[in-house]
Structures are given as C-alpha cells and as structure tokens.
Amino acid sequence: MTGTYKIALAGNPNSGKSSLFNALTGLNQKVGNFPGVTVDKKTGRALIAPELQARIIDLPGTYSLYPKSADEYVAYEVLLNPAGKDRPDLTLVVADASNLKRNLLFCSQIIDLKLPVIIVLTMMDLARQRGTTIDVKGLEREMGVPVVVVNPRKNKGLTHLKKVIAQVQQSAFQPQNDFVPVATLATRAIKAVKELSGVESDYGALHLAFGVDKIEFLNNGQQAQIRLTLSQHEFHKGKIQAEEVMLRYERIGRIMQRTVVEESPLKKQLFTERLDKVLLHRVWGNVILLVILFLMFQCVFWLAEFPMGWIEGGFAWLQGSMAKWLPEAWWSDLLVNGLIAGIGGIAVFVPQIALLFGIITLLEDSGYMARISFLTDRLMRSAGLNGRSVMPLISGMACAIPAVMAARTIENRKERLITILVTPLMSCSARLPIYVILIALVIPDTMLLGVFKLQALVMMGLYLLGFFMALIVAKVMSLIMKNREHSIFLMELPVYRAPRWKNALITMYEKARIFVTDAGKVILVIALVLWALATYGPSGKMKVVEERYAALGLAHGGKLSVEQEEQKATDKLEQSYAGMLGKAIEPAIRPLGYDWKMGIALISSFAAREVFVGTMATLYSVGSADETSVPLRQKMANARRPDGTKVYTLATGLSLMIFYAFAMQCMSTIAIVKRETRSWKWPLVQLAYMTGMAYLAALLVYQVFK
C-alpha cells in the first residue's frame, strides 16, 4: 500500500520519546503549532517500508490521560478526537523499562481508546543495571498489543520496530478487549455519551464525561447535552476516576508479577545516584554549575571565532567586488549596501547561535539541565517564585516567547504572572549577536591567569546579570502582589546519559535555519527599509551636501580624497530621513554615550533585538562600499565622533550591553505576554519597567566608566 501513514509518539516525560522521534525522522522534521494553541507541534517523515511513508507526530509528554497543563491537553485532544486531522492511524507508546509500572498506566489507557498501539520499551540497559529482567513476549501477551525493545540513542531495534509497524498497518490491528472493564463503572452514562459524541470506545466516552467543559472538539450543543445526561445519571467524576485508576494498577501489578523479575529492594547504588551526590551538593553543585556555564560561553567565543571571520571576510569581499563590477546606480547601491550588507549582518552570527543551542542540547540530553532546575529551586523560592519558574527562565536563554508560554505549567496564578513578567530579563539568543559584536569591540581579547578568556567572562556575566536581576524584580513584585495560594515543586530527575552528537547537530541545524529564515526575514526587511531611509532625504538638504562636495572636488582637481568621500557619505546620512530620526532622539540618549546612529538602531531593534546588528551593518555601509570594503566590526571600531574621539569606547560599549540586557526590545514578546495574560495591562507594565530600568542602568554604567 502506498500513502502517508500517521503515527503518534506518546509517553511519559523522560521516557526516550524525543530520542525515538529523532532516530526515526533525522533531519526530515519541522516544528509548528497545534491548531488554536501555541504548543509546539513536532512532526517528521520516516520511510517505514519501501511503499510505506509515515508522518510522525511527537506528542507532548504526559503521565496519564488526566491532563493538567496546556501541553497535556494537546496530547489528550489528539488521541480522543475521532475526527481530528492529527488523529493517528497508529500510536507508539514509549515506555521506560526501568520505571515500567508507572509507564504501563498510560499504555493501558491508550489501549482502551481502541487505537492501534505498539508499546516501545526503551532504557532496557538501565533496567538491567538495576537488576530488572523483563519477559518481553510475556508482557506482549498480557498487554494484548505488540511490544518492541529499542535503543534509539544507538539506533538499535529500529529495523524490527519498522517491521512491526508495517505488519500492524497491513493487518489493521487494534485492541479488541478492554484492559479494565470501564463500561461497568458508569454503564448508562457511557452509552449516552457515545451516542452524542461519535466516540467509538467506552473509555473515550468516559473521558469526554470527565472533561466535557474543556474538550475543544465538542460543540456547545453537544457539551450541554452531555452535561444534562451526566446529571440525569448521577455521574460522580472523582469517585469513578479513582476506581478506574485502582483497577488499572491492580491489573498492572498482576502483569508485573508474571513478566518482571526485580532484584532485591536493597538494589545497588547506580552511577546516577553517586554522581548526584556531587553535582547536587549545596556548595560544590553551584560551583560546578558556574564552571559549566563559563565553559559554555568560552566555547561559543573560541569555536565560533574562525567561521565568523570567514563569513565576515567573505561578505566584505563580496561587497567590495560587487561595488567594483556594478555600475553606479540606485539599484546597485540597494543590492550592495542594503541587501548584501543586511544578509551579512544575519549570517555572521549563525555560528554563535548554532553553538549555543548545540551545547544547551548536549546538557539537556545528558540529564544535567534538569539538575540546574533542582539546584536553583531554593534560590527561586527566596525570590518568591515556584521551582517550576526555573524552566521558563532557563528557556528564556533561548527565546522569551516559548519561555513565557512554558509558564503555563505553574498553577499558582501569582507566581505564573511574576514569572511571565521577569522572563524577558533573561538574555535570549537574540541578544547574543549584540553582545558578541560589542564585546569584540571594547573588551580586550586577553586571558586571565592563562586560562580564562576575558571576553567569555564578560559574556557569562551578562547572562548571570539578567538572571539575578530577574530574581530581584521577582522579589519586589512578590511583595507588592498579594496572594495566599501555596504551591510545591515536584520534578522527576532523568538518569545521566551520554549526550548524542547527532541530536545536537540536528538541533544546531534547526535553530540556525529558524534564525536565518524567521529572524532573518525581519532583519532583512528592516535593513532594506533603513537603506531607503538612510539613502534619501529632503531634496533641498541632500542637494546642499552634493553641491558642497562638488565644489570641493573641483577645488582639488575634480576628485575627492578617500577621507572626503567618507565624510560626504556621513554628511548625506546625517541629512537623510534616518539621520533626521536619529538626531531627533539624540538628546535623550546622549547621556548614555550614544550617537544618532545608535538611536536609529535602538528604534529599529524594537521589532527584534538582533536587528541592532543589521541596522549598524546598513548604516555603516550606505554610500561607503567600494573594492576595499572591510568587515562591520572594523567599521564600527574605526568610527569617530566630530571631535575625533572613538564612538565605541569601553563606557559606551558597556552602556549598550547593559541597555540591551534589560530593555524590552521585542514586539513578539509583548504580543505573547498580552495573549498569555489576556490583558494589555501587564505587557505595558513590563515595557515600562524594563525600559526605565534599562535607561537608568545604562546611564549609571556610562557615567561611571567614562
């Protein structure tokens, strides 16, 4: 049979589901959103058999079919909705063999939805280390569905899994018997709900009865009818739910007795537990965390230095060559100083973006990222936040938008709101290009004690500054906002595993691609608009500049010197529409050490922080590209004020870094905060406090260091 076969990957968090997804799809994957929500939707394609192409959907991890967060509701709806476009033809339920009893609860629930199911056992090596032996054939017989053992990290068992998938697809297999007799729990109510909703399984109907008010695919009429039916049949949700879970665990217990042999409860201490004694130590754990963060930024600078230089040199050569070959015309100026300069401003930072995400992926893959949450839990509580706030803040190092959405897992409303309001203070990847170019400009490339790179230390300091400022602001907000709700932080720590380089490389490719295509489009459009604003101005003022330098050229034999050409380009830029805009706000930013060109960059980067670099690339290129074009960093380093002093001094560079560390320079984040809080009040509060704090902090830094 030919065609696309829909396969859903479901399972508990940390069960190996993402590893299996990457192993099956490789680079043939993409990330979007599920319809109507902002939860990530990872899909990919895999060739299962010569004539069987599969579309694989990686559902958010969940412990059971009783959802609590927005992510879990997405998995819930996909599996329950009989008419959904993501409804799977087959569900691969990924189960951790070392925590089999807990994982089998979710497996049994999906089996009772009467969906074709294959149980995929992962982490068998860890189960063996713990002295656990599993009779796979016996488990398959007891569960009534195929069971396949895989190790996706080492690509073991994938061929057999694909063979079983093909067999299930050809036979149209699906579970026949209920894992537990759910129909006996509420016979009349279940029958009525099935008739009203079109759901085929008794267990699916039972879940519609449990969550009738939150099921998106039911229309208002169906919801009203189901509520009336449940009232008529005296449906007691809490009692029935408890009875159902007890029945499942009773049968799972019997299955475990027949198919699983475990070593003595006094099992040997595993490597993970021994390592946690060091890495989670109250003192040494935090010291090790700081060392790991420093090494991460050291690598970002050291490893990215070479490809950055190649990209910079390549674009400088391309600009110079194009300026030499093309005739002088407005379209050639647009191409060289608008389009190519804008693309160069994007491409040069791809190595840092890719490396940062690659290292974060390796830390997450190894199991250490979860330990960072555990280590910082006490610190977060001292700032009036829940331990669950740690993950949104850590995610904020990548991008504030998904980080703000990740705060949905925080049940306490006050703590969730505070987390949303302070998350943008974390230095995201959009700030990285700004930090890199400014650090390279004003911080010496020297080593401290022969080991520590000064530039890497400054970079780490900026990230830590954002983190601790977020905690300070959170503490102040927690004192202002009153709320009597109390919450606890529970988190499962995954075992330590050797990180997979393939997974990191896939992530690096994906993040670099997203940066170039998504952020790049914004940067490029703004670069082209800026070129127009920086090239054209009021005809009278531009004519005066042209006439002045024409007369100067005649006085010097008909040709301007290189210095005079550069001054002419600067004067024209100053009289352009962009120059007028920069001059208008210059009085407000002059106390921070900024000139009018930086003012233009501050305004344009409100669309997205990383636009700052593209703006500077355009402003320093307009009217100045020739066959001797030089990289942007060199142009900025050579920039001089009218009195001959350097534009980018240590004081100015530090002031700019501090401003961008604190400022809310991102329209997309404002939009997502409005969406999450359902009010314009909080994003406006956020914009006001972050802009004010950024201005005052930048002013203080400049006045101290100038």
Summarize pLDDT for 155-213 with one digit per residue, the tens: 888 999 999 998 888 886 666 678 888 878 877 888 887 777 777 788 888 877 777 66
The pTM assigned to this predicted structure is 0.56
Range with top average pLDDT, 14-18, 397-401, 437-441: 437-441
Is 43 a domain residue?
yes
Model confidence band, residue 541 (pLDDT cutoffs 50, 70, 90): confident
Instruction: Let me know whether 163 and 217 are in one domain.
Output: no
What secondary structure does DSSP assign to 88-153, as a single string? -SEEEEEEEGGGHHHHHHHHHHHHTTT--EEEEEE-HHHHHHTT-EE-HHHHHHHHTS-EEE-BGG
Question: Which two structure tokens, joined as six digits, stand for 564?
Answer: 């005079």
Examine the fold and report which residue of 123, 152, 171 is the final residue of a domain before the chain moves on: 171
* pLDDT score, position 662: 92
Is 295 a domain residue?
no
Instruction: Let me know whether 586 and 640 are in one domain.
Output: yes
Is 206 a domain residue?
yes
Kindly report, residue by residue over 52-87, the tens digit of the pLDDT. Answer: 888 898 888 887 777 766 567 777 778 877 777 778
C-beta separation of 377 from 472 below 8 A: no
Amino acid identity, position 342? G
pLDDT over 80 at 107, yes or no: yes
Instruction: Let me know whether 149 and 207 are in one domain.
Output: no
Is 531 a domain residue?
yes
Instruction: Let me know whether 165 and 58 are in one domain.
Output: yes
Is 316 a domain residue?
no
Examine the fold and report which residue of 171, 202, 221 is the final residue of a domain before the chain moves on: 171
In whole angstroms, what separates CA 481 from the centre of its chain?
29
C-beta separation of 17 from 101 below 8 A: no
Kindly report, residue by residue over 339-362, the tens digit of the pLDDT. Answer: 777 677 667 767 776 777 788 778
**What CATH number is given to the structural domain containing 47?**
3.40.50.300
Instruction: Let me know whether 150 and 10 are in one domain.
Output: yes
Is 302 a domain residue?
no
Window from 408-417, 591-600, 649-658 with minimum mean pLDDT: 408-417
Instruction: Let me know whether 95 and 212 are in one domain.
Output: no
Instruction: Let me know whether 529 and 658 are in one domain.
Output: yes
| Residue of 266 and 257 predicted with greater confidence | 257
C-beta separation of 356 from 429 below 8 A: yes
Instruction: Let me know whether 573 and 672 are in one domain.
Output: yes
Domain count, the chain: 3
Is 284 a domain residue?
no
Give mean pLDDT, residues 127-154. Answer: 87
Is 553 a domain residue?
yes
pLDDT over 60 at 93, yes or no: yes
pLDDT over 70 at 283, yes or no: yes
Percent residues over pLDDT 70 in the chain: 80
Distance (Å, whole) CA 118 – CA 697: 57
pLDDT over 80 at 267, yes or no: no
Instruction: Let me know whether 139 and 221 are in one domain.
Output: no
Examine the fold and report which residue of 131, 148, 171 is the final residue of a domain before the chain moves on: 171
Model confidence band, residue 148 (pLDDT cutoffs 50, 70, 90): very high
C-beta separation of 460 from 294 below 8 A: yes
Instruction: Let me know whether 578 and 613 are in one domain.
Output: yes
Its domain, for residue 63, covers 4-171
Instruction: Let me know whether 655 and 582 are in one domain.
Output: yes
Instruction: Let me know whether 153 and 188 are in one domain.
Output: no
